[in-house]
Amino acid sequence: MGRTQFEFVSGADWQRSVKQNQPPHGATQIRAGSKGDHSVARNGMATILVVDDEPMILKLCGNILSGDGHEVLPASNGQEALELLRSNTVDLALLDVIMPGMDGIFLADRIQLLNQDTRVILMSGCGSREITQVAGKENPYRIIWKPFKAESLLRMIGNVLGESEAASD
């Protein structure tokens, strides 16, 4: 039997689903083995660092990714993420762009200095103008816009991890 993933929803259903660790009422379910199954790193499992200062998004992303078979390392800020990177090898980092203290762009650059093989995806609820102001016009990282569906997140992660595997072959 396949694992179940959730899509992002907003409002009270989303908050309730995070607290109860269950899919939001009315959310579309995606079964593993369908188009939503994009696990590709070592033996179908990647180690993914998720960094977001919003606890609800951090937990929901963790649920989606662990439900897809990935190992998730959650961090609520850039400093916490760097501490996790000192003792863990990470295949991919999923980073919120706008965070207090260290923003996601600066963190992404630090991660690349520590390990060029770690792939980075930025998450943002801001518009592209704000991202360009933070990241510059030559942003080398993929961006997924909030709110996003679980299937979109898993597809992007699968594509990015697939690109890194193809480059290492």
What CATH number is given to the structural domain containing 51?
Answer: 3.40.50.2300
Report d(CA 157, CA 70) in Å as an integer. Answer: 11
Question: Structural domain of residue 149, as residue ranges?
Answer: 4-168
**Could you list the pLDDT tens digit for every one of the 169 residues in the chain?**
333 333 344 444 444 444 554 444 433 333 233 333 333 444 569 999 999 999 999 999 999 999 999 999 999 999 999 999 999 999 999 999 999 999 999 999 999 999 999 999 999 887 666 665 555 556 678 889 899 999 999 999 999 999 866 666 5
Predicted pLDDT at 140 = 76
Distant-in-sequence, close-in-space partners of 5: CB < 8 Å, separation ≥ 6: 29, 30, 32, 36, 64, 67, 68, 150, 151, 154
Predicted pLDDT at 155 = 96
If one counts the domains in the chain, the total is 1
Calculated CA dihedral for residues 140, 145, 148, 154, nearest 10 degrees: 0
In degrees and rounded to multiples of 5, residue 94 shows phi and psi of -110, 110
Helix (H, G, I), strand (E, B) or coil at 141: coil
Query: Regarding beta strands 92-96 and 30-31, do their DSSP bridges make them parallel or antiparallel, or are they unpaired?
Result: unpaired
Of 118, 75, 116, the C-alpha closest to 99 is 75
Report d(CA 108, CA 155) in Å as an integer. Answer: 20
